[in-house]
Chains A and B, each alone.
Chain A
Amino acid sequence: MPIKPGSLLTVVLVASALTACDDERTASWGDTDSVRYCTDAAGHRVPDENCETHSAGGNPFLWYYLGRLGGSRAAFVPPLGGVASGGGYSPAPGLAYTSVSGAIARGGFGATGGGGGEGGAGE
């Protein structure tokens, strides 16, 4: 027989933009990848644009390099504000580095739907 819902929650409609959180889980990177990300002077990760747009002289932002670290050890990219670790501030000789923002591909899902109406993804 039918069951009544116990309570109704007000649906909180959210924009789909992500908000920052303190979660320390990070993306792991294979040890064959050579990646760099930007940190402030205290070693906290900041958006890569800070390192890309400031001139070298007196720049308070530094690239942090995660290269081929040897063995099976993986390097990790912390979330924004997280502490840099597992790499160093000097690039390893002979490696070409890609910034984190440039190393992540986007747009590989979602190309088919999104037009709304009968082209929507729901049914």
Chain B
Amino acid sequence: MNRHAITPRENWQARVERDGLIWHTAGGAPYWNEAAYYDLTPTEIDEIETATGELYRMFVSAGQYVVDKQLFGRFGIPQWCWPLITKAWNAEPPALNYGRFDLGYDGVSPPKLFEFNCDTPTSLLEAAVIQWAWKEDVFPHLDQFTSLHDKLVAKWGDIAPYLAPGPVYFAHALDASGEDAVTTAYLMDTARASGLEAMGIVMTDIGLAPDGGFVDMQAREMRTIYKLYPWEWMVQEAFGPKLAANDRTTWIEPIWKMIWSNKAILPILWDMYPRHPNLLWASYDQVASANYVRKPILSREGANIEIFRNGQSVAQRDGAYGYSPTIYQGLFELPDFAGARPVIGSWVVDGAPAGMGIREDGLITGNLSRFVPHVIRA
């Protein structure tokens, strides 16, 4: 795994915007950074792909364990949600069942899981489309690890017969950066490519009818809603309790994603698969080595994460999740390419590895990390 500097394409901003990535610059610096790229060997890609499939299987087992033992209290999930999650886990309502494993990888030791972003993952368009278009322009003779686009389109096609008639609504928050809008628009595109009718709506416009149905701006009941909005927020908001009385609307992803997307599952994985090569030790309350990370179970984008080396704090990021219970996880030393530390985002769609993206940042990968494309070495 190597990092190389390279001259960006002329008018790269227009190129990526043409494919939908209007959020390519953040804080005055490129978020989409094609002034560099990574190359990995086929063996390294195989290792990441194999780890992704293995991690998915472990998450299935861990999810079943959590449901069987009703361990939702560990996850900070309100008790009224427990039967909803249990029901959804057992019934398996239609879902994309997609997500992004964030992995530490240095090309030497096996990939190590940091967390599983499977409720509201972003950097999707970049991984599925933008970096492929870059590769076709710059290295057309090389390959890239991505089948994400095709797998998402195929998955929409698989679940389409199980969805209620009518459009699939795509709901997202009105984020100032546009990142959520870009991701949601891309997913709408994949749904349309499979033949589904798709319509957009912002979360605050979702209406609640007197009979408990969720309706659009024209009072039409929405029977299928994809939402790029975390369940842990939804259940705490004003309409949250109404979810319990409404089984007419299918939410994508389902509420059982509250299990997998919560970092409280990491200690359970470690207990079930101690010393697994793709896991870092994790614990609710005990530090197992001098180098470790303290993470809120519900934080996003690296917020409120603190890194310790030799028991001393060396990096931390502020955020809005100081209230959240925390877990401890072993520290993986990311490779350092002149200050750029890459984290692998390895995608999975319904259990099948589906490609990867690489984001660079410092010790903690946050919302303003840079997305850097990759190729597979010939």
Majority SS of interface residues in chain A?
loop
Across the interface, A106 reaches (CB within 8 A) one of B181, B205, B376, namely B205
Query: Which candidate, B55-63, B236-244, B278-286, is the interface stretch facing chain A?
Result: B236-244
Across the interface, A13 reaches (CB within 8 A) one of B146, B182, B376, namely B182
**A89 contacts partner chain B, Cβ-Cβ < 8 Å:** no
Q: Are A104 and B209 in contact (CB under 8 A)?
A: yes
Q: How far is the CB of B240 from chain A (nearest CB, A)?
A: 8
CA distance A74 to B203 in the complex (A): 27
Contact with A along B175-196 (1 / 0, CB 8 A): 1111111110110111001000
Q: Are B189 and A79 in contact (CB under 8 A)?
A: no
Query: Which candidate, B71-79, B223-231, B252-260, B333-341, is the interface stretch facing chain A?
Result: B223-231
**A12 contacts partner chain B, Cβ-Cβ < 8 Å:** yes
Q: How far is the CB of B225 from chain A (nearest CB, A)?
A: 10
Q: Are A109 and B143 in contact (CB under 8 A)?
A: no
**A110 contacts partner chain B, Cβ-Cβ < 8 Å:** yes
Residues of A98-118 whose CB lies within 8 A of B = 98, 100, 103-118
**A70 contacts partner chain B, Cβ-Cβ < 8 Å:** no
Residues of A within 8 A of B320 (CB): 118-119
Residues of B within 8 A of A6 (CB): 149-150
**A56 contacts partner chain B, Cβ-Cβ < 8 Å:** no
Q: Are B177 and A112 in contact (CB under 8 A)?
A: no
Q: How far is the CB of A109 from chain B (nearest CB, A)?
A: 5
Q: Are B208 and A106 in contact (CB under 8 A)?
A: yes
Contact A107 B238, CB 8 Å, known A118-B319, A123-B121:
yes
CA distance A10 to B237 in the complex (A): 35
Q: Are B219 and A104 in contact (CB under 8 A)?
A: yes
Q: Are B186 and A11 in contact (CB under 8 A)?
A: yes
**B14 contacts partner chain A, Cβ-Cβ < 8 Å:** no
**B310 contacts partner chain A, Cβ-Cβ < 8 Å:** no
Q: Are B20 and A13 in contact (CB under 8 A)?
A: yes
Q: Are A113 and B233 in contact (CB under 8 A)?
A: yes
Q: Are B203 and A27 in contact (CB under 8 A)?
A: no
**A62 contacts partner chain B, Cβ-Cβ < 8 Å:** no
Q: Are B203 and A5 in contact (CB under 8 A)?
A: no
Q: Are A113 and B203 in contact (CB under 8 A)?
A: yes
Contact A4 B233, CB 8 Å, known A29-B210, A79-B219:
no
Residues of A within 8 A of B204 (CB): 106-107, 109-111, 114
**A122 contacts partner chain B, Cβ-Cβ < 8 Å:** yes
Residues of B within 8 A of A80 (CB): 218
Q: Are B147 and A112 in contact (CB under 8 A)?
A: no
Contact A117 B367, CB 8 Å, known A14-B188, A122-B179:
yes
Residues of A within 8 A of B181 (CB): 13, 16
Q: How far is the CB of B303 from chain A (nearest CB, A)?
A: 5
Residues of A within 8 A of B216 (CB): 18
Contact A9 B208, CB 8 Å, known A80-B218, A114-B173, A123-B121:
no
CA distance A36 to B23 in the complex (A): 43
Q: How far is the CB of B367 from chain A (nearest CB, A)?
A: 5
Q: Are B19 and A10 in contact (CB under 8 A)?
A: yes
Q: Are A108 and B239 in contact (CB under 8 A)?
A: yes
**Residues in chain A within 8 A of chain B (CB atoms):** 1-21, 23, 25-30, 33, 35, 74, 77, 79-80, 98, 100, 103-123
**Residues in chain B within 8 A of chain A (CB atoms):** 18-22, 42, 45-46, 49, 117, 120-122, 125, 128-129, 132-133, 143-150, 165-167, 171-183, 185-186, 188-190, 193, 197, 199-211, 213, 215-221, 223, 228-230, 233-234, 236-240, 242, 300-303, 319-320, 355, 366-368, 376
A-B contact pairs, 16 of them (CB 8 A): A3-B150, A9-B189, A13-B181, A18-B200, A25-B220, A26-B220, A27-B209, A104-B215, A105-B208, A109-B239, A109-B240, A114-B174, A115-B175, A118-B300, A122-B183, A123-B301
